[in-house]
Chains A and B, each alone.
Chain A
Amino acid sequence: MATTDRLKDHWAEQRLFLHRVIAAVIGIVALIIVVLGRLGQLQIADYEYFSAQSQGNRIRVQPLPPTRGLIYDRNGSILAENLPSYQLELTPEQVPDMAETLSRLARFGLIEADNIDTLQALIRQHRRFDSIPIRHRMSDAEVAAFAIERPRFPGVDIRARLARNYPHGVAAAHALGYVGGINAADMQRIDQRDYAGTSLIGKIALERRYESDLHGDAGHEAVLVNARGRIMQSLNAEAAAAGKDLILTLDIESQLTAHRALAGRRGAVVAIDPNNGEVLVFASEPSFDPNRISVGMSRADYLAVQQDPDLPLFNRALQGAYPPGSTIKPILALAALHYEVIDPNQPVYCNGSYSLPGSTHRYRDWKRGGHGWIDMHGSIEQSCDVYYYELARELGIDRMESFMKRFGLGGVTGIDIAGEKNGLVPGREWKQRAFSKRADQVWFPGETLITGIGQGYLLTTPLQLAHVAATIANRGQRFQPTLLRGMSDPVTGAVEFAEPVPLESVGIVRNDQWEQIISAMSAVMQGTRGTARAVGIDAPFTLAGKSGTAQVFTVAQDQEYETEELEDRMRDHALFIAFAPLEDPQIAIAVIVENGESGSGTAAPIARTVMEKYLRDML
């Protein structure tokens, strides 16, 4: 077809164009015949079939939501279940005037006027013919009242659905989390087809982490509806597959004990089985009621919870970063043994304060007047600060930093709840990155000293401290903390147990060095001068522990520490780590009580009660 003559030839071009138009017309006719053929097939050949589908059988396919999996504790006590409840649902395409309907429902007291915008957004997220829950857990009185008014609200209906219920309420809320309505953000992370009939989704903690297992697979059924859209009969259905049941590592008895022991305080208790990393207790106080949150609290109530100065929604066990105080001392003593910077049997004299050579700044010991001559064993038993100032100076921050990191500090433990905080193990490199001013980027020797008593920049979470306690109890072998013991198939009942996940062990420390430290920690509880002797001496089991008191408020030089003058929230945090029984550790625990003032006085008794509850069957 290529022309050699490249000048425009109008007649030839017009002829060519005409040929093309004719070709196009042939194509158009062919395509129209295809469409007509298809119409003929649908409307003549298959007319009977489609007519039956449409006229006689008005079939609507509707989703069958799966039943959410249950959650049990390690002994089979139920922690999360599904109870029948009534909810209000709305089908957008049947509602004549959405804004008007919602405002009338608000006036009727069934939804909150403040929530209308949120609901409108939710409705826009759904298809016009979906039934969207707009109010969960109606009371019997509300159901009765609405039933009378129902004809005035076309497109709005009451449905009986299963609602999530947490029998222990606040006690385990931070571990279990809660479920709530599916919002726009949730829509992004789910397969919407699977959630066609589901109205609730795990929002935080375990309910969220194991959402895909708990949710199950949606089924669907074809139903016959009459001319007014009412369901007459159910045809073939593909049943939904219920979600898996979770068996947790938690011991709800011990959890409740921890919850009660912390009552009225701000703090956390985390207990771990050192042999496999199973989390036995995971309590954070104050807590919230997942039963109320999951049904959609009123805005005012939610704001009240959110703005509570005690931060009940804050998961202290997971995200609270606290200076470990003296609970860090066993690790640093181990470091000193390993690097042989100090002879454990060589006593150091403690006169109540310590100064770096060439400096007048006094670093205080918690005990006025000091502990006198004291060796490593005594330094842990009596928690002598001066000993650790000296020890820290000998070790230097670099060795301290790397040794603490071997215990998992400064990083997440990998527990199966999202949002874990790293805490902080400071060092030279960190300081350079963290500060912008050149003068602040230098690591000062004094900072090494206060790190030696678990103060300064050093931060740990209660979970990390429990992990440290478990690691010491296990002589350096570490396991990833987990809350999931196994999953059970709701149909067959077959349980699939989770394997413990070993983490890189601490290594390098010799066995006799572990024993030295553990024996000193046992002296804390049951020795003649142990700081927690009052708690440990009459315990019905052997145990090892270490108290800690972390400063929130820095006391100025030459000023005496006056507890009474401090605002409540300026008081020291009380910390305690422990494990028991000594011969064969079954439980390792960390307790933190914010502003509890004394680790041995406030935190240690809580640790003991919880351990005693957990070891109840062995005693």
Chain B
Amino acid sequence: MTTLTADRRTQPLGTMGFMLRSLHLDGTLLTGLICMLAIGLAALYSAVGQNTALLAGQLLRMGAALIAMLVMAQVNPGWLRRAAPWVFGLGMLMLMLVLLTGDVGKGAQRWLNLGVRFQPSEIMKLGLPMMLAWLLHDRPLPPSFGMIVVCLAVMIVPVGLIAVQPDLGTAILIVLSGATVIFLAGIGARYIIGAIATALVSMPLLWFFVMHDYQKSRVLMLLDPDSDPLGAGYHIIQSKIAIGSGGLFGKGWLNGSQGQLEFLPERSTDFIFAVIGEEFGLMGALVVLLVYLLIVGRGLYIAAVAQDTFSRLLAGSISLTFFFYVFVNTSMVTGLLPVVGVPLPLVSAGGTSMVTLLAGFGILMSIQTHRKLLAR
């Protein structure tokens, strides 16, 4: 291969730097990720009541996810671009298989059992932005109206398949991952305004024709959690008490009464941010958010300096989508958004999304470390 890493000659490298380069890893991004994973383990240890068996399970998943990251970092972005339609096609195939044969977990049909049980919608989290970036790569930007229509058509099919599983939370996140690609491609302001207007108009339609009762009740609970303190409102009430009682500096690690006394449901998964808020207070939450911002910022920087359209769009989309996870989860836990079942990325217990996330960061690292010398 003719690819050489960018600034090897201009910057002196230490042993550490040399190792990172030869593994195609990005030091800044890696630092942010490791920090976040460490914070996550600490929070989880407290949330699961110091159950080391559960913690070991999470460590194992982290290991698998880091390997996925390492593997993706080695894949040349050009190769990744050529593979994009195939990845997308494979994801579509699996989504259809889920509808036909999938396992039913928690009342929704999301799982595919191919030796290991996994959710094909996870593949789409990367597959869709890859596909859109591939579509837009050779086209002049900003995209023409026809191109936008093609992109929307490509988006709507997988999103529809996921929405009927039903997994509205994931469907919305995948819409966002696609929308960020189109946004970054530079579509005109009138399209953006049009899209926002359409979203606003379709909300009542979603409410009356698409949403299930349990989904509606989650939205209603947001407005008035006390109307149903035993059911859907319970999560929000308990979560707010946990965070609010944490104050500025928190109650200290392993000392959060709401979390430790098990008032707080799903404290190791979707509501783990409440454990952080209770035990580490506003300062702890601020640190967590700053680390997230560091990761997102580095991701956007990588996107900005990337050398081709595909890399730019994909890197930007992965970074922005990651931010949406953080925003949706923290808003949900603090009672700003309805409870939609989005985990806190890199922190919440549970494996499937961790692997996809770190694989995505592997792609970012690959884009950053496979840059060609501009001099040519």
Q: 1/0 contact trace for B125-140 toward A, CB 8 Å?
A: 0000000000000111
- Interface residue? B240 (CB, 8 A): yes
Question: Are B229 and A18 in touch, CB under 8 angstroms?
Answer: no
Known contacts A9-B140, A20-B183, A38-B336: A25-B257 contact under CB 8 Å: no
Prevailing SS type, chain B contact patch: helix
- How distant is the Cα of A5 from the Cα of B142 in the complex, in angstroms? 11
Question: Are B230 and A43 in touch, CB under 8 angstroms?
Answer: no
- How distant is the Cα of A220 from the Cα of B293 in the complex, in angstroms? 42
Known contacts A13-B186, A16-B141, A28-B296: A36-B247 contact under CB 8 Å: no
- B302-350 contacts to A (CB < 8 Å): 303-304, 309, 312, 316, 320, 323, 327, 330-331, 334-336
Q: 1/0 contact trace for A224-236 toward B, CB 8 Å?
A: 0101010000000
Question: Are A193 and B231 in touch, CB under 8 angstroms?
Answer: yes
Question: Are B262 and A129 in touch, CB under 8 angstroms?
Answer: yes
Question: Are B257 and A21 in touch, CB under 8 angstroms?
Answer: no
Partner of A51, one of B184, B189, B244, B286: B244
CB distance from B373 to the nearest CB of A (A): 16
- B104-147 contacts to A (CB < 8 Å): 138-142, 144
- How distant is the Cα of A9 from the Cα of B303 in the complex, in angstroms? 18
- Interface residue? A345 (CB, 8 A): no
Which of B248, B262, B297, B336 counts the most A-chain CB atoms under 10 A from its CB?
Answer: B262
Interface size on A, as a range, is: 35 or more
Question: Are A42 and B243 in touch, CB under 8 angstroms?
Answer: yes
Known contacts A9-B140, A28-B293: A18-B304 contact under CB 8 Å: yes
- B167-216 contacts to A (CB < 8 Å): 180, 183-184, 186, 188-189
Question: Are B186 and A16 in touch, CB under 8 angstroms?
Answer: yes
- Interface residue? A17 (CB, 8 A): yes
Query: Closest residue to B243 on the A side, CB-wise?
Result: A42
Q: 1/0 contact trace for A6-42 toward B, CB 8 Å?
A: 1111000110111111001100100110111011101
Interface size on B, as a range, is: 35 or more
- Interface residue? A2 (CB, 8 A): yes
Query: Closest residue to A218 on the B side, CB-wise?
Result: B230
Question: Are A54 and B231 in touch, CB under 8 angstroms?
Answer: no
- A-chain residues with CB within 8 Å of residue B331 when the two chains form the complex: 34-35, 38
In the assembled complex, 29 residue pairs joining A and B whose CB atoms fall closer than 8 Å, in A order, are A1-B189, A5-B140, A8-B138, A9-B140, A13-B186, A17-B184, A17-B303, A17-B316, A20-B184, A20-B186, A25-B297, A25-B300, A28-B293, A31-B327, A35-B330, A35-B331, A39-B282, A40-B282, A42-B334, A43-B244, A43-B246, A43-B285, A47-B244, A47-B248, A51-B244, A53-B241, A53-B245, A55-B257, A129-B265
Top-6 shortest CB links A-B: A50-B244, A54-B245, A42-B244, A193-B231, A16-B186, A1-B188
B residues with a Cβ closer than 8 A to A are: 138-142, 144, 180, 183-184, 186, 188-189, 228-231, 234, 240-248, 257-258, 261-263, 265, 277-278, 281-282, 285-286, 289, 293, 296-297, 300, 303-304, 309, 312, 316, 320, 323, 327, 330-331, 334-336
Further pairs besides A42-B277, A54-B258: 10, Cβ < 8 Å: A19-B186, A24-B184, A35-B334, A40-B282, A43-B243, A43-B281, A50-B244, A58-B257, A61-B229, A196-B231
